[in-house]
Amino acid sequence: MPAYRISAAGSGARLMRQVRPEPWLIFKFCLRRGLNEWYFILTKDHFGVSAATTAEALSRDIPFDQAVHMSSAVTVLPARACDCHVHVFCPERYPYDADRAYTPAVAPVQALRQWQSSLGVERAVLVQPSCYGLDNRAMCEALRTLGVTRARGVAVVDPATVSDSELDSLQDHGVRGVRLNFHVHAATDPSVLIQRFRAVADRIGGRGWHVQLHVDSQALALLAPVLRNADMTVVLDHFGGGAASMKTLASLLPCRHVWMKLSAPYRVSQVAEYADLAPMVRQCLEIAPDRLVWASDWPHTGGNGQRKGTVTKIEPFREVDVMATLTLLREWVSDTQQFNALMVDNPGRLYGFEI
């Protein structure tokens, strides 16, 4: 049977292509117990073809480029460490949205669990990816699999149409926030940004949930006056847009309801070893050490914002050395107590885990 193998022996991990995929073959995950190896077996009719996903796309190579990749660098994480931003992709059970901007490869919850084990992470926050639109079922199934003691979720909903019962069900599954992605759904008109934020905030108000924002530095600056006065928790994705956002962040992070994820540095920095983020992280630690959390952004989707091309092409995941980025983060956050808070205490309070 055609197969890809990810060898995770020792501290490194690499993908080895064994056989070129044949048409209409895609990944099916299985774990060989007792061996520290992953096998992604390609089987027919596993993807779940939507109107926007054609035979032409599935007849090409199906890239799963090193969703597990770690260097020999080692940063020991504390017990109950939480990865506050991961995704799962299970198109064989839950087809992607027809209006999506990209088509990612497969990343099932079983792969997430094994990857967490390799890294030493016990808890995770699953974030609804844009390619699923408003269909949160794949995320909810993963939340059920991981369990309420180990996982929380951030959903995507339409505030104009989502029902109270749907929100109740999401909460029962472990959802504690709603995401607004202003990279995929681009907007530069301040009135549009503000309207979208307020619509979601008003709809989920009273549940103790938060609004999670994926914004660039320009959109964050436009939203800042409203965010400062928000009466609910606001969480900023991916360094709040990066070093270019620091002036805005300096005005937002003093607000006790504003949090930020130190996540996906490759999305906001092109500088070697993300050197432009180091002073930013240290400044944010001075302002809000108890409202910063860490996240890996696993399995590291390839694009950022508006993709070019067609959704009939399956987009490979990035090769990201997460252990190396954790080592950098540990250098930036030199105080052990602060680092442990970043990994355990802060996520515990934000997402309602037992600390």
Q: Could you give the residue numbers annotated as active site?
A: 297
Place of tokens 């994926």: 214
In angstroms, the first-to-last Cα distance of the chain is: 45
Q: What residues pair up with 260 in beta bridges, in sequence order?
A: 236, 292
- Contacts of residue 275, Cβ cutoff 8 Å, sequence gap at least 6: none
Q: How far apart are CA 201 and CA 208, in angstroms?
A: 11
Query: Residue 307: which of 152, 131, 64, 154 has the closest Cα?
Result: 131
Q: How far is CA 291 from the centre of its chain?
A: 18
Question: Are 168 and 134 in contact, with CB atoms under 8 Å apart?
Answer: no
Give the sheet arrangement for strand 82-86, strand by strand: 82-86, 123-127, 151-155, 175-181, 210-214, 233-236, 258-263, 292-295
DSSP labels, 118-131: HHT--EEEEE--GG
User: 154-162: long-range contacts (C-beta < 8 A, 24 or more apart)?
Assistant: 154/125, 154/126, 154/127, 154/128, 154/178, 154/179, 154/212, 155/128, 155/179, 156/128, 156/130, 156/132, 156/181, 157/200, 157/203, 158/134, 159/199, 159/200, 159/202, 159/203, 159/204, 160/199, 162/203
